[in-house]
Amino acid sequence: MAIRPIIRFPDPRLRQKAEPIGPVDEAVRALAGDLTDTMHAAPGIGITAPHIGVPRRLVVIQLESDREPHIYIDPEMLWVSPERIRHVEGSVSMPGVTDEIERHARIRVRYRGLDGSEREEEAEGLMAVCLQHEIDQLDGIFWIDRLSKLKRDRLVKRFEKLQRIRA
């Protein structure tokens, strides 16, 4: 497996809708491995293929409590709870800045695993937040789009300042 370069905000590819994966083969499994290695190196707890410039619907999530990463191929939300929660979010494509986002407290998703089989999963709390965040990314919705214009503008300015300092 390999660590791949991560696309940085404001790259327009982060706002493109990702295409379905199709058949699960060795290339898809290798991409999942690369995504896992890249996520760990970032570091992060979630990443999508679009984050590395591959416009396909593949997500990897690994929370601190998880022994192994969760791989979601072509995930789609089937149900969302009416209850909402707020959680601090960020992105491997926009390192160094975070903000609080409101999302559904519980969700149900359908996806395929690395063996190609279709699965359904219910998630709550942080895993529900991560799945919504990453599925948004697959749909071309960057996480800051969930902020008010004022908060988004302030966060972008903070990120730009950080980039100048690091350069």
Residues annotated catalytic, as ranges: 134
Comparing C-alpha atoms, which of 153, 167, 166 is closest to residue 10? 153
As a whole number of Å, the end-to-end CA separation of the chain is 29
Q: What CA–CA distance (Å, rounded) separates 93 from 107?
A: 25
- Residue 88's DSSP bridge partners are 100
